[in-house]
Amino acid sequence: MRKVIVAKAAGFCYGVQRAVDMALEARRSSDGKITSLGPIVHNNQVASKLLAEGVEAASDLGSIREGSVILSAHGVPPSTVKQAQSQGLRVLNVTCPFVTRVHRTACQLIDQGYQLLLLGEANHTEVRGIVGAVNGNVTVIGGVEELKSVRLSRKVGIVTQTTQKAEDFAAVVAEISKTVFDLRAFNTICNATDELQQAAIEMAKQVEVAIVVGGKQSANTARLRLICEEAGTPAYHVETAAEIEDSWIAEANTVGVTAGASTPDWLIEEVVKRLNYGQLPSDFKIHHPDESTMTKFFGSTANKGGKELALAA
Ligand code: SF4
């Protein structure tokens, strides 16, 4: 009999639930057309559910002619907001507050005369937004190796994409500090990311195989798979339960499950059922990454794991 262990924190983070809530609220309070610029979050199944609720998606701003435009939870460059406004569109900016904090910190470092570095993935939406916020006045690096090709000044400031690994950030900061006189380093990784990653490590150490659920374009989901592998456990990244191959789990007595910050509960449940002979274990429960913080400050969490979307057509 196979045992299925779900990571102590998995799935929807605060920023993703907030973006979905704002999109649905906009739909309820407006009869006009609502279009998101790119996916609101990096999850195809969530995008399909939002489409069923009447929230369309477009890949470029020029093709949105009327109504409201929803901008990504991962943030956009200020120029995108201005362009949308100049087209006469109503702008719903669902940028996560943790991403806004990176924009603000990066701008402050530039204002204070620091050479700015950003640890992140150059092509990710969030990174493009941060680069735009400082008018391109930043060098994006993927890790310590890439520092070799960067000429550092006496004053260096560094921020990080919210989904980076804390260890990678620490390694980059340690390397820069060897040569830079005035270094200001801001760890702008969000708590949700860190919580998901720590829970994934803990889970991976208890199982023979790990299944990581989330959009194939989701950077934080891909990172969770890597983290499980680094913990010594073979890990597979799937969007849905249907992608799980029998050969992955045939020999395993223990299988772990975790999910990225844009993965709704219903997809996690389907995966757990697939692994647990068609049913959820009696003690099954999903804890979202921000749950303990939200409960501490507000007495409860508003994170419903996309439950309202699960009911959509
Ligand atoms: S992972 Fe963190 S920064 Fe990104 S949307 Fe979620 S809460 Fe916000």
Domain that holds residue 110: 98-189
CATH number of the domain within which 224 lies: 3.40.1010.20
295 and 227 part of one domain? yes
**Residues 200 and 279 occupy one common structural domain:** yes
Q: Using the structure block, give the residue that is written with the tokens 């939200």.
A: 294
Q: Are residues 205 and 259 in the same domain?
A: yes
Whether 83 and 182 map to the same domain: the answer is no
Whether 14 is in the pocket of ligand 1, judged by its Cβ within 6 Å, is: yes
Q: Quick one: tokens of 188?
A: 């702008």
**Do residues 228 and 286 share a domain?**
yes
Select from 38, 69, 96 the last residue of a domain.
96
* Residue at a domain's end among 189, 208, 233: 189
Whether 153 and 109 share a structural domain: yes
Per-position DSSP letters for 21-64, written without gaps between them: HHHHHHHHH--S-EEEES-SSS-HHHHHHHHHTTEEEES-GGG-
- Confidence (pLDDT) at 304: 82
Among the options 56, 126, 175, 269, which is catalytic?
126
247 and 177 in a common domain = no
Ligand 1 centroid–CA 20 distance in Å is 13
Last residue of a domain, one of 127, 154, 189: 189
204: helix, strand or coil: helix
Provide the domain count of the chain. Answer: 3
Confirm whether 126 is a catalytic residue: yes
Average pLDDT by stretches of 10, the chain with 313 residues: 96 91 90 91 90 92 94 92 96 92 97 98 94 98 96 97 92 97 96 92 98 93 96 98 97 97 96 97 91 62 78 61
Q: Which residues contact 114 (CB under 8 A, 6 or more apart)?
A: 155, 156, 157, 182, 184
Gap from CA of 261 to ligand 1 centroid (Å): 7
